[in-house]
């Protein structure tokens, strides 16, 4: 089965970079087991990148799995303690409410060379 990839760039609100760093430290530390269990339950492999730009800091998140876009939406429906904590952090750091459907369209894949690479 071919895995699909979903990526989204999310700005960090002004003044929230230190809170973001603390959030990531918790995800990689004391909450790592809950984080990995959450992503396993959603059947996705998550990678998160930090990018500092002249216009501010942002995060690039990739989800890889059989249906990562659906997993992104399903996460918002999760009601366990970890998911609620995670969603609260995202709301405070990025201004995005993961518990409600996105207001705009989901990211669209526009270039993908993997098929050609796999066939060569």
CATH of the domain at 52: 3.30.70
Structurally, how many domains does the chain consist of? 1
- pTM for the structure as a whole: 0.85
Phi, psi angle pair for 28, to nearest 5°: -85, -10
Give the per-residue pLDDT at 119.
58
- Edge-first strand order for the sheet with 4-11 is 4-11, 56-65, 44-53
**Which residues span the domain enclosing 74?**
4-119
**Rounded Cα gap, residues 51 and 62, in angstroms:** 14
What is the DSSP-derived secondary structure letter of residue 75? H
Give the pLDDT of residue 68: 86
First to last CA, the chain: 19
Contact present, 5 and 109 (Cβ < 8 Å) = yes
Residue 98 pLDDT exceeds 90: no
The residue ranking higher by pLDDT, 111 or 44, is: 44
pLDDT tens for each residue of 14-51: 999 999 999 999 999 999 999 999 999 999 999 999 99
Percent of residues, the chain, with pLDDT higher than 90: 64
52-68 confidence digits (pLDDT tens): 999 999 999 999 999 88
């Amino acid at each position: 089965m071919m895995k699909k990839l979903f990526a989204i760039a999310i700005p960090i609100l002004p003044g929230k970079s230190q809170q973001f760093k603390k959030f990531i430290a918790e995800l990689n530390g004391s909450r790592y087991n809950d984080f990995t269990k959450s992503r396993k339950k959603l059947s996705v492999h998550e990678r998160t990148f930090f990018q500092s730009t002249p216009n501010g800091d942002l995060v690039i998140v990739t989800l890889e799995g059989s249906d990562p876009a659906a997993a992104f939406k399903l996460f918002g429906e999760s009601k366990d303690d970890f998911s609620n904590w995670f969603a609260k952090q995202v709301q405070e750091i990025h201004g995005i409410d993961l518990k409600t459907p996105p207001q705009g369209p989901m990211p669209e894949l526009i270039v993908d060379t993997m098929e050609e690479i796999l066939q060569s």
